[in-house]
Every structure is written in structure tokens, then in C-alpha cells.
């Protein structure tokens, strides 16, 4: 584990025995870079993204909690991506390297906590594995009352050729080819296959209930201040999620796991 920075933000970098690397900003526990052992960057990061904590980071893997998008009364996409997390357990063994990040209600900025005044504990562990990455997302209700929550790992995959990118395995649909704008929610199968122009990426999940597939297209991307006009052709978002807020009783826990394997 090595301390580093992402723009003006403190960050942590981990390196696996095979040479794969991941960099996580403490702001949002945001995975901002994942390079496989061949040195290839697997995630998209907008050149126009804020890198100073003034706003959410555009690209990588934003962490959504406790609200997905505007599906609720609170902050769009929640408070986790706008809070500074703490580094927890980290280490490596013969084949893997990992780092875990922690967030509780006490870590959330006051202006955000006012909009969601519940006691909770989040843990997000990134593990570099041979030919892949695992993200383990844990939510615990530490308060005296039940609360409703949604969550997601809003993963931006870098693609080589946008119009040749194909996603297979979605229920009740043929393989999805990218082109027009997309913002679709699908019941989550156990796994999906992404062909980003070169090679194959296997996506597996446990505990999540949906996959969200998103790309803004040219017109909407041009209206995003944190994305350059042509960058929409460089990524697709495929997000394991619980898009609707569901109750978590006091003392109860939830865990979701997302595993990405380069085939």
C-alpha cells in the first residue's frame, strides 16, 4: 500500500504480485484507476472531472449510498461519494492485494448528514486478484431505528470502440449494442459478459438486485460540465445496484459483491 494523490485529493495505491494496480481516492472511497498486469487502464476517467473535493468525481467507480439517482427525497446518488472515508485493513498475499475503506455517520459532512440523519457503518474492500478485481460492499445499521437505503457501484468501463461494444447476459433481451443514449435498469443476473472492442470482461455479482446500464450519448454529454463533449464514446457504465430504497433493521447488515474478470 502506498499513499498518493488524485489531483488535490489524498489517495491510496495498491499493487498486486502480478503488477496490477488500483488507486482509490479517500474522497468517496472512489476507485479512480485500475490497471491490469499488462498496464492497460480498465476504467474511464473524465479529463474534466473535479479532483479537489468540490464535487463528485466523474468516472472510475462512484459509490452510491443511500439513494440511487433521484429515487428518493434526499441527495441525488447519496452522501457516500461526497464524504471522506478512512483507510482500514490493507495487505497482500501470494496472489492478491487489498485495501478496505470505512465510513460512518460521524464522517459525513454536517450539511449532508442533516438530510439523512441515521447511524450506519459502510465498508468497501477492493481486492486485486489474478486477472481481476473484487469489490465487496458492506452496509450495517448501527442505530436504534430502521432505515431505508439503496446503493450501487457506478462503474465506468473504458471501451476501445464504442459502436463495437457489446453486453451479453441481460435477462429477456438479446445482446446489447451501444450507440443511442441508454439509461436502463435490468433485473440482475449472476453474471454478464462485456466485449469493449478488444478482449472480454466477465462481470459477476452477489447481493445486488439490478444492473443499471448507462451512457448519456452526445447531446446529454455536451450539457455535462464535468465531461468533455467527445468523451461519451470512451465508456459504458454497467452498475450492480439496489436502485430502490429498502429497509435495514437496527443491527442488521447487507453485503454486495461485484467481481470483474478479464477473460
Give the per-residue SS3 of 48-81. Answer: CCCCCCCCCCCECECEEECCCCCCCCCCCCECHH
Beta-sheet pairing, 176-177 with 182-187: unpaired
**DSSP letter string, 173-231:** SPPEEP-S-EEEEEEPPSEEEEE-SSS-EEEEEES--EEEEEE-HHHHHTT-TTS-TTG
Which pLDDT score, from 0 to 100, does residue 91 have? 96
Cell of 76: 441525488
According to the model, what pLDDT value does residue 76 have? 84
Strand, helix or coil for residue 8:
coil
Query: Cα separations (Å) of 150 from 88, 113, 247, 249?
Result: 23, 16, 9, 14
Instruction: Select which of 100, 210, 231, 239 is catalytic.
Output: 239
CA 6 to chain centroid: 16
Q: Which long-range contacts (CB under 8 A, 24 or more apart) does 5-11 make?
A: 6/30, 6/32, 6/51, 6/57, 7/50, 7/51, 7/52, 8/51, 8/52, 8/53, 9/51, 9/52, 9/53
- Cβ burial of 138 (10 Å; 0-12, 13-18, 19+) is middle
CA 224/CA 137 separation, integer angstroms: 28
Cell representation of residue 256:
454486495
| Contact present, 42 and 157 (Cβ < 8 Å) | yes
The whole model's pTM is what?
0.96
| Active site (annotated) includes residue 239 | yes
Residue pair 79/108 in contact (Cβ under 8 Å)? The answer is: yes
Q: What is the pLDDT along the chain (263 residues), one digit of tens a residue?
A: 999 999 999 999 999 999 999 999 999 999 999 999 999 999 999 999 999 999 999 999 999 999 998 888 878 889 999 999 999 999 999 999 999 999 999 999 999 999 999 999 999 999 999 999 999 999 999 999 999 999 999 999 999 999 999 999 998 888 999 999 999 999 999 899 999 988 899 999 999 999 999 999 999 999 999 999 999 999 999 999 999 999 999 999 999 999 999 98
What CATH number is given to the structural domain containing 74? Answer: 2.70.98.10
DSSP class of 143 = S
Q: Cell digits for 3?
A: 499513499
221 φ, ψ to 5°?
Answer: -65, -35
The span from the CA of 43 to the CA of 25, in Å, is 14
Q: Domain tally for the chain?
A: 1
List 77, 154, 231, 258, catalytic entry: 154
The residue range of the domain holding 75 is 2-262
Amino acid at each position: 500500500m502506498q499513499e498518493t494523490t488524485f489531483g488535490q485529493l489524498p489517495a491510496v495505491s495498491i499493487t498486486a504480485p502480478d503488477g496490477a494496480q488500483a488507486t482509490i481516492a479517500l474522497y468517496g472511497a472512489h476507485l479512480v484507476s485500475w490497471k491490469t498486469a499488462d498496464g492497460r487502464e480498465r476504467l474511464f476517467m473524465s479529463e474534466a472531472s473535479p479532483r479537489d473535493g468540490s464535487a463528485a468525481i466523474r468516472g472510475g467507480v462512484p459509490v452510491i449510498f443511500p439513494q440511487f439517482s433521484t429515487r428518493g427525497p434526499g441527495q441525488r446518488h447519496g452522501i457516500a461519494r461526497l464524504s471522506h472515508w478512512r483507510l482500514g485493513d490493507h495487505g497482500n498475499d501470494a496472489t492478491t492485494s487489498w485495501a478496505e475503506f470505512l465510513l460512518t455517520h460521524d464522517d459525513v459532512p454536517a450539511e449532508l448528514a442533516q438530510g439523512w440523519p441515521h447511524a450506519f457503518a459502510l465498508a468497501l474492500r477492493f481486492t486485486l486478484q489474478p486477472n481481476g478485481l473484487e469489490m465487496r460492499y458492506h452496509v450495517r445499521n448501527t442505530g436504534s431505528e430502521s432505515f431505508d437505503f439503496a446503493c450501487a457501484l457506478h462503474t465506468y468501463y473504458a471501451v476501445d470502440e464504442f459502436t463495437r461494444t457489446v453486453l451479453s447476459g441481460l435477462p429477456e433481451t438479446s445482446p446489447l449494442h451501444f450507440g443511442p443514449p441508454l439509461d436502463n435498469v435490468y433485473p440482475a443476473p449472476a453474471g454478464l459478459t462485456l466485449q469493449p472492442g478488444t478482449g472480454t470482461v466477465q462481470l459477476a455479482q452477489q447481493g445486488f438486485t439490478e444492473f443499471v446500464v448507462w451512457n448519456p450519448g452526445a447531446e446529454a454529454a455536451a450539457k455535462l460540465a464535468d465531461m468533455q463533449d467527445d468523451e461519451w464514446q470512451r465508456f459504458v457504465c454497467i452498475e450492480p445496484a439496489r436502485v430502490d430504497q429498502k429497509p435495514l433493521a437496527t443491527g442488521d447488515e447487507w453485503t454486495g459483491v461485484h467481481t470483474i474478470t478479464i477473460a
